[in-house]
Chains A and B, each alone.
Chain A
């Protein structure tokens, strides 16, 4: 028994260290909110996940918080009566989160309370505990992070959302479509292939992913896969391009690029009737569709003006207007949930960066600064975006806040990681 306990402790410690190297904050806000997340009160065999540590990582990941290390804490209060605010003021904590976990018949229950140290009052308490199996301890931690983040910032937290991305390997060539928590943890493969996989996009209803796979005769085809059941359907099989899928806001239609009529053009597909409609008609390249938030129009990349720029077509009228004017290369636009910003790949000084366009004013803001940044995907709360970049000659994922004030790097994976797709809220 003693030996078992020791082993468990070792295991937990090892895990915590791995977690600490998880996310690298490369640029945070000047005055992040300092929060103390006290070790949770728990009696029982060691847990497979360190809930307070996951919450610390989550909040740090947002870039808006700085969690205070446990060894700086003067006390570990278990309840409100045990809190001495001066202990927390002394270490400049602005907020304090305490909690406990109980276990009953294989189910875990977490209670938590959040206190404002400056105002010396409780700002959040959970009357009904969060509940889950042992495999759901991370979900419980992310839920607490979401509630904490929302209480303090007024913005809905994204820590319980997921990402899908592509992981590529060389020699032998192999592609995997991966699903993970937004912090990169708990990754699992949705598809493993010897052929190219690219352009995954998450349906707005959160149930499916559309992507391009070359598995059939080494030619591109579009697939739609149910994420929980794994059931999938090939939805296109045309000669030439079958690519760049984009879901309509109601998850009923897919926009895409096809070259079946001789040239890369935008089409829409009604997934119920399987009817295709052609949207663009131009001898130049038209690709990378992305629906407007109201579903009435589609942004797309075109080189009809010689260099690639982003255009917008209104579906009812076919009327097309140019959207980007700043720079010689703007491609792969994605609209923010509020419809106000368009993020894209933008070329500047020979490098490819992520930029955000304020659609109304036409102002372009540069969000990243490395050379090969691509595939931006916006979080459902509109506060952050994730993108693909390279670090140490390897493809990795990174995130930046839409105001460009905070930047984080996600942990490196085995292969080259690319093309993140951020899930909606569940």
Chain B
């Protein structure tokens, strides 16, 4: 039990380090909110602000298994959600290739993969809702790999 807690704590630390490390190199794909400008003439020390967590995880074509990178992001969300009363909408999406209703199911499977992972980390399933939009709401409208990879996603919406 103790070892599990330590393990999880360690995983979380690794994840956060990983996220911070990633934020510069991969900023195009996974936008990270820019830090607020440092306020001038502060008498007290600046409050510690938690690093923002990426709100989107991405998938391979016709797949709904979570990549190691997605798991890392979702672990951070799990930490935030555990024991809180926040409810979250998990919005699953697909790229434009293939049939629309199959893509709708794919978006649902992706959202549910995220949900199941969060539940496994101790988040209450009642606070999570999966909704699929299939290929109907692309973030990138091009017809090539770079657009498709941005559209195959689950958005974690608080």
**Measuring CB to CB, which residues of chain A are less than 8 angstroms from any residue of chain B?**
196, 198-199, 214, 218-220, 239-241, 243-244, 257, 259, 262-264, 285, 287-288, 301, 303, 307-308, 329, 331-332, 345, 347, 352, 371-372, 374-375, 418-419
Contact = CB atoms under 8 A, between A and B. Distances in A.
A308 B102 contact: yes
A288 B98 CA distance: 12
A244 B132 contact: no
The secondary structure that dominates the A interface is: strand
Contact of B105 (A241, A307, A374): A241
A244 B101 contact: yes
A259 B99 contact: no
Given A219-B131, A287-B102, A418-B100, 13 more contacts: A240-B108, A243-B104, A243-B105, A285-B106, A287-B101, A301-B102, A307-B62, A308-B102, A345-B99, A347-B98, A352-B97, A372-B143, A419-B100
Nearest to B138: A170
Closest 8 CB pairs between A and B? A332-B99, A244-B101, A331-B99, A264-B105, A285-B105, A287-B105, A345-B99, A331-B102
Contacts of A345: 98-99
B155 interface: no
A375 B108 contact: no
Contacts of A241: 104-105, 108, 132
Contacts, number: 85
A303 B64 CA distance: 12
Helix, strand, loop or mixed for chain B's interface? mixed
B110 to A, nearest CB: 11
Contacts of A219: 131
A99 to B, nearest CB: 43
B130 to A, nearest CB: 6
A257 B101 contact: yes
A259 B108 contact: yes
A371 B102 CA distance: 18
B129 interface: yes
B108 A264 contact: yes
Contact of A218 (B102, B104, B106, B131): B131
Contacts of B98: 308, 329, 331, 345, 347, 352, 374
Given A264-B109, A285-B109, A303-B62, A199 B101 contact: yes
Contacts of B99: 288, 301, 331-332, 345, 374-375
Interface string B128-144: 01111110110000010
Contact of B96 (A259, A263, A372): A372
A307 B102 CA distance: 11
10 contacts: A220-B132, A241-B104, A244-B104, A264-B108, A287-B101, A301-B99, A331-B98, A345-B99, A375-B99, A419-B100
Nearest to B109: A285
Nearest to A256: B101
Nearest to B134: A198
A299 to B, nearest CB: 13
Contacts of B106: 285
A288 B101 contact: yes
A308 B109 CA distance: 14
Contact of A332 (B62, B101, B112, B133): B101
B14 to A, nearest CB: 31
A196 B62 contact: no
B95 to A, nearest CB: 11
